[in-house]
Chains A and B, each alone.
Chain A
Amino acid sequence: MTESTTDKTGAPTARDDREARLPDTMSGWRLTARAFMENRLAVTGLGIIVFFVLFCFAGPHLYTTDQVTVDPVSSLLAPGGAHPLGTDPQGFDVLGRIMRGGQASLQIGLFAALIATGIGTLYGTVAGLAGGVVDGFMMRVVDTLLSIPFLFIVLIVATRFSSTVLSLSLILGAFSWLAPARLVRAEVLSLRSRGFVAAATVMGATKARIIARHLIPNALGVVIVNITFQVADAIIAVALLGFLGFGLNYPDVEWGTQLSQGVSYLLGGSWWLIYPVGGCLVLVVMAFNFVGDALRDSIDVRLRRR
C-alpha cells in the first residue's frame, strides 16, 4: 500500500503526540453501545422488546384471567367491559391469551435462536479454523441442508413430535444454524488473515491463545447481531407452524395458533381475534430486526473509525 492520501472527510483523527490531552477512553463495546443508543429506531426497538417481555411475563400477574377453563357462555364477545380485547370462541379473554401466547412465542424464539447460533458458531469456527478438505466437506454439508426449504423439513419433523415449547425450540434451532455457521466461518477466515493475528503468531502465541484472545472476542459482534435476527426469524417460523396446525396444544398457545383460530372467524367479523395478536407479532419481530440492524451498523461504526 502506498501512502493513503484520500481526504474523504477532511477530518484527521490524529491527536497530538506529545500532549496527553486525549478524551475519555472508550472501549469498542462502549463505542458500539453509544452508536447504538444514538440510533432512534434501535432504541425504539429495544423499548418494544422490553415492553413485550414485561407485558407477557409480568402482565399476567397484574391482569389475571382464566386461560384454562373453556367458557362457552362468554364465547366471541366483542371488546369492552370485562374483556378489553374481547373473548375468543372458547371464551378465553383475548388480552390474557395474547400475554400467554406471547410467553411461548418469545421463549421459543429466544431458545431456538440460541440453539441455532450456538451450533452455527461452533460449526463455523471449526470449519474456518480447520480449512482445507475438512472445511470443504463441512461447507458442502451446509450447502446440502441449505438447499432444502427450511419450513418443509421443520414441518415434516414436527408431524412426529407433540409440540411443546422445548420440542419446537429444538426443532427450529436444529434446522436454522446454517446461516450463522456460514457467517461465523467467513468471519473467522477474514480474522485469520488480519495483522494482529499474524503479530500474535510471531510473538509465539499458541493456537488456543489466538482463538481465545483474538478470534472469539472479535467474532462476537457478528454472533450477537446474528442472534437478534435469528430470534425474529424463529418467531415468524413458530407462528407459521402454529398457523399450519403444528403449534402448541391446548391449554398452551402461541401467537400463530391464535391467529389460525382467528382466521375461521374473520368472515364472521370477529376482527379482535386477528388484529391485536397480529400487531403484537409484527411489532416484536420488527423490534428484533431494528435492534439487529442497528447493532450491525454500530459495530461497523467502531470498525470504520479504526
Chain B
Amino acid sequence: MKPDAHPTADDGPVLTIEGLSTGIRLRKADVAAVSGVDLHLRRGETLGLVGESGCGKSMTGLSVMGLLPPGGGITAGSIKLAGRELVGLPDKHYQRIRGNEIAMIFQDPMTSLNPTKTIGEQVAEPVRLHRGASPKQARDRALDMLALVGIARPAERLGQYPHELSGGLRQRVMIAMALSCEPKVLIADEPTTALDVTVQAQVLRLLHDLKDRLGMAMLLITHDMGVIAQWADRVSVMYAGGIVESARTGELFTGMRHPYAQALLACTPRLTQRRDRTLFSIPGSPPDLAHPPAGCRFAARCAHATDRCRSEAPPLTEDRPGHTLACWNPVDGPLGPVAAEAQTAPETPAEPAEPVLAIDDLAKEYATGRSLLRGAKRSVKAVSGVSFSVEPGRTFGLVGESGCGKSTLARMIVALEKPSSGGVTALGGELGELRGRGLRRHRRNLQMMFQDPFDALDPRMRIGAILREPFAAQGIGTAAEQLAAVRDLLDEVGLPHTVLERYPHEFSGGQRQRIALARALALNPRVIVADEPVSALDVSIRSQVLNLMRRLQAKHGLTYVVISHDLTVVRYLADTVGVMYLGKLVEIGSPDDIYLRAAHPYTAGLIAAIPEPDPDAEPPGDRDGMDTEMPSPFDPPSGCRFRTRCPRAQARCAEEEPVLRDFDPGHSAACHFPLREPQPAAAQVG
C-alpha cells in the first residue's frame, strides 16, 4: 500500500494556480497551449497532471518555473507560491526561487546534464548559488545528495562526467540536483518516460520517498495512467490546454465524471486486458490549439456530445467536495469491459501447423573499432543464439528493455542485416542462401512495420506513390491495377481515397502508421515483423492501430512478429511471448506462462515493474526488484548474463551459462535457479 501523505487540515496550499493561460507565439499563429488552468498543491502531497502529448501539461510546469520557451508567455491568471505571486515577478527575484523553493526534473536525463562538467560540479551548483556554500561545503552536500538518491559509491561519481552514467543514474543525479536545496515544490515532468520500465519503478519510488522525507509538494506530470494510479494523491486530467477533471486518485479511477477521463482510462493498456476483445479507442485526434474549437474541446471526439457541448464551453465547477469537473453531460464511473465489442480471437488450430518462420541459433556481432596497440577487436554481441519459430496466422511477441538486441533481431528476420551466424527460414526458404533477384522475390512474403512513423515514409513522395512502390518494386500489375490495389489497401486501413495525392507531413503519427501498415500489406505477405509499432503514438491512438493490426491478421491470416518494450502491447497481440535480455532469449512461452507463471527472475521483475492503472494495486518496486540497470553489451557478464541484477544469483550463475529448460509444454526458461521447478523429464538445449 502506498504510504500516507500527511496533509494536515490547517496547512494552506504551497502552490496555487488560478486561471492560468499560457500562449506561444509561433511564426504563423498564436497557440493557446494552456487555458484557464486551476491547480493547488499542499505540503507532502503528490498531484498528478495527466494528459496526452500536446495537451499543455509541460507548459503548465514551465509556466510555474517561469521558463517558457521563446515566444511563450503567461497571458492570464496567477501562480502563488506560499502566498507570493510569481506571475510578473522580475527575473532577478525569480532566480532566487528557481532551484531553491521550486525545482524541476525533466523528461530526458540523457540531455539534461551538461556533458562537459562533472557530476559533482553540477549537483553542487544550486547549493553554492542559493545557500552561499563554500566549495567544500557544496561538495559535501553533493556527496550527501548522491547518497540520498541511492547512488552507490557517491564519492567516485562526483568526479565523473554524465556520459559515464546510465540513464537511470543520470535521472537520479537530476533528482539530487533538484532537491539539493530542499525545495517546497518539485515539478517532475515525465521523469521516467525516457527510462526502461524496470528503472521507472525505482525512480518513482525514490521520488515518492524523498517527497515524504523532505515534506515537499510534488507535481507529477505524466501521460501514463498507471504511474498516476500508483503514485499520485490527487489527479488533474488535462485535455487540449484545459483541466477537464480533478479529484482524489481513488475517486477519479472509480468514479470519474468526464467522458475524456473515462475514455483515457479505458484505452490504457492493462495486463488483464482480455485478448478476445477489441481495445477501447477514442476516435479522431486532439484539436489544433492554434484554432481551438468553440465549446467543449473534447466534443468532436466525445460519445456523449450534444449541440450545447459544441457551442458552449463548460466551466470547471465543483461537482462534489474535492472533485471538480468541466462537462455538460457527465458520465458515471469507468467503462465496463462489456462496452467494448467482442472480437473473434484467432482460433487455435487443432493440429500444429508447419511453422511459417523459423529462426535458428541466430547471432549478430558488431565490430567496433580496433585497438591499435593490442590489435584485439572489440565487438558488441547484439544477439546471441536466439531460436524460435512461428506458426501461420499466429503472433510471436518479443519483449525486452532498450539495448537488448530486439531491433537487431527484427532487422535480421527481414534480411535487412546479415546474421553473423545462424539462419532465418521463411516459408521454407533460407534467407541467407538467397541472393539478388531470388531474395527480392522472396521478400514479398516478409514485410516490416517500423517504429518511427515519421521516418518510415519518404517525405518527397505522395501517399499514392508510397503505396504503389511495393508493386512497382516487384513489377506487379499495370498502373491502373496498382491504383486499384492501392485503393483497396486504403479501405483496409480505414483511410479515405483522398489521401492519395497528399504528402506524409500532412498526417498525424497514427495515420502514418496506418499508411505504413497498408504498405506492408501491399504485397500480400505471409509474415509481418512489427518493430515497436505503437510506441511513438499516444495512448488513445495506440489502440486504434492495435485493433487494426488484429483485424487485418484475422482477415488475411497474417503471421506477426511483434517487438516491443511494452509488455501490455505484447500481451494483447501475442500467442507466444519471448523475453530477451542482453541478446539472449531467456524465457519463452504462452502469454499465460509468461505473465502468470514466469520462471525466470528477469521476466518476473519486468512484469512486476509495470504500474497498473489501478490505485488499489500494489505499487511496483516493493517486491524484490532489480535495483540496477542492464550492463553494457560490450562485455556481457560471464555465465548467466542476468546474474548481476538477479536477486537469486549464486556462484554457479557466473560460471555456467544456463540453457533453456522446459517448465510447461511450450514454456521454457534459461535459469539455474528458476522461480518454479522445471519439468523433470526435459533439460534440453533450446
Contact = CB atoms under 8 A, between A and B. Distances in A.
Interface of A: 1-20, 22-23, 25-28, 31, 38, 194-196, 198-206, 209, 213-214, 217-218, 302-303, 305-306
Nearest to B436: A206
Contacts of B135: none
Contacts of A23: 506
B390 interface: no
Nearest to B57: A7
Contacts of A218: 458-460
A200 B505 contact: no
Contacts of B450: 195, 198-199
A7 B536 contact: no
B509 A14 contact: yes
Interface of B: 24, 26-27, 29, 31-34, 52-59, 69, 107, 190, 193-194, 222-223, 241, 283-290, 300, 411, 414-416, 439-441, 443-444, 446-448, 450-452, 454-462, 469-470, 472-474, 494, 496, 498-499, 501-511, 516, 519, 522-523, 532, 535-539, 544, 565
A205 B508 CA distance: 26
A interface: dominant SS = loop
A127 B450 CA distance: 27
Most buried by B among A9, A23, A199, A206: A199
Given A7-B56, A11-B289, A17-B284, A217 B460 contact: yes
B194 A12 contact: no
Contacts of B447: 202-203
A7 B33 contact: yes
B262 to A, nearest CB: 20
B456 A204 contact: no
Contact of A199 (B27, B31, B505, B519): B519
A70 to B, nearest CB: 56
A35 to B, nearest CB: 9
A303 B222 CA distance: 28
A196 B456 contact: yes
Contacts of B194: 2
A10 B24 contact: yes
A34 B539 CA distance: 34
Given A15-B508, A28-B459, A206-B440, A5 B223 contact: yes
A302 B459 contact: yes
A303 B459 contact: yes
21 contacts: A3-B535, A3-B539, A5-B58, A7-B55, A7-B58, A11-B288, A12-B285, A12-B287, A13-B288, A15-B506, A17-B544, A20-B498, A23-B506, A196-B457, A203-B469, A204-B473, A206-B440, A209-B473, A218-B459, A305-B505, A306-B504
Contact of A5 (B190, B458, B474): B190
B290 A199 contact: no
The B interface is mostly helix, strand or loop, or mixed, namely loop
A92 B42 CA distance: 86
Contacts of A198: 411, 416, 448, 450, 456
A34 to B, nearest CB: 11
Contacts of A214: 458
B181 to A, nearest CB: 26
Nearest to B501: A25
A213 B458 CA distance: 9
A182 B544 CA distance: 44
Contacts of A201: 416
B53 A12 contact: yes
Contacts of B56: 7, 10
Contacts of A9: 24, 26, 31, 33, 54
Contacts of B532: 1
Contacts of B537: 3
Contacts of A14: 54, 285-286, 288, 508-511
A1 B455 contact: no
A22 B190 CA distance: 32
Contacts of B508: 12-15, 17
Contacts of A17: 283-285, 494, 508, 510-511, 544
A175 to B, nearest CB: 32
Contacts of B461: 213
Contact of A11 (B26, B285, B446, B473): B26
Given A8-B69, A204-B441, A3 B454 contact: no
A200 B473 contact: yes
B107 A5 contact: yes
B193 A26 contact: no
A213 B283 contact: no
Contacts of B501: 25
Highest count of chain B CB atoms <10 Å: which of A9, A31, A206: A9
Given A10-B59, A14-B286, A306-B505, A1 B452 contact: yes
A1 B451 contact: yes
A203 B523 contact: yes
B489 to A, nearest CB: 13
Contacts of B27: 38
A8 B67 CA distance: 12
A28 B505 contact: yes
A184 to B, nearest CB: 16
B504 to A, nearest CB: 8
